[in-house]
Amino acid sequence: MEVRIFKDKDQLGEVLAEILVSRIKSKPDLSFGFATGASPVPVYKSMIDYYRKGLVSFNKITTFNLDEYCNLPREDENSYYSFMQENLFTQIDIKEENINFLNGNAKDFDAECKRYDNLILDKGIDIQLLGLGRNGHIGFNEPATKFTKNCFKIKLSESTIEANSVYFTKNPMPHYALTMGTVSIMRAKEIFMIATGDKKADAIYEMINGDISPLCPSSVLQLHPNVHVFLDKDAAKRL
């Protein structure tokens, strides 16, 4: 794993956006796996700046988002679909038909997960962005006794409910979600992990130095040949 430490999240966002934009210039039809949460927001902001200055076009890229809450209307302000619309998609020239999400309101969750797995297998993911849960989760792959494989429905852990419920000021937070599995994530050709703030420091330490174990799902990234870990000083404080 390559580990890079930045003075703050804005500098991290600028450097990573510059890398992603240069990758799009070399391959305009790049396929991305995108993440939600606070961690990637500075990267998305900086990507929008490149677009506004006319320095890049996103009109050929394809995106697959990592995860989505179950039984939360897509239009709800807390759905990950709304998050991506607000923080990136409505501000760039991506084509609606190239945006892919798990449908957390599907009638048959197994069929929905299979549909998404097939789409990902068919297209492949060139670059996957990841945030990190305080308990070491990636996507919504929570600590467990076994590594997960493809997309599936998960009951969220207490730690994740506690961390994410701050965003749910009007309605209670859903306790279930659909997520890409660990194997789906590991199939990406290249992975950029973003972690900022001291609440991530323990999880970052475990991910890099701990045993490869499903008890810390992100530790599986030690086995991937092309992972870049982008941290601010606070998230890196135990390294």
What is the phi/psi pair of residue 25, to 5°? -65, -35
Nearer to ligand GLP, 131 or 181 (CB): 131
Which residues are known catalytic residues? 67, 135, 137, 142
**């930045």: which residue's tokens?**
6
User: Maximum Cα–Cα distance for the chain, whole Å?
Assistant: 48
Nearest distance from residue 29's CB to ligand GLP, in Å?
25
For ligand GLP, the closer CB: 104 or 139: 139
Q: Which is nearer to ligand GLP, 128 or 164 (CB)?
A: 164
Q: Given the rule CB under 6 A, which residues bind ligand GLP?
A: 35-39, 66-67, 131-133, 139-140, 160, 164
Q: 206 near 197, Cβ under 8 Å?
A: no
Closest approach of ligand GLP to the CB of residue 234, in Å: 12
Distances from the Cα of 12 to the Cα of 39, 101, 194, 195, angstroms: 10, 26, 9, 10
Minimum Å gap between C-beta 114 and ligand GLP is 21
Those residues whose C-beta lies under 8 Å from the C-beta of residue 198, and which sit 6 or more positions away, are 234, 235, 237
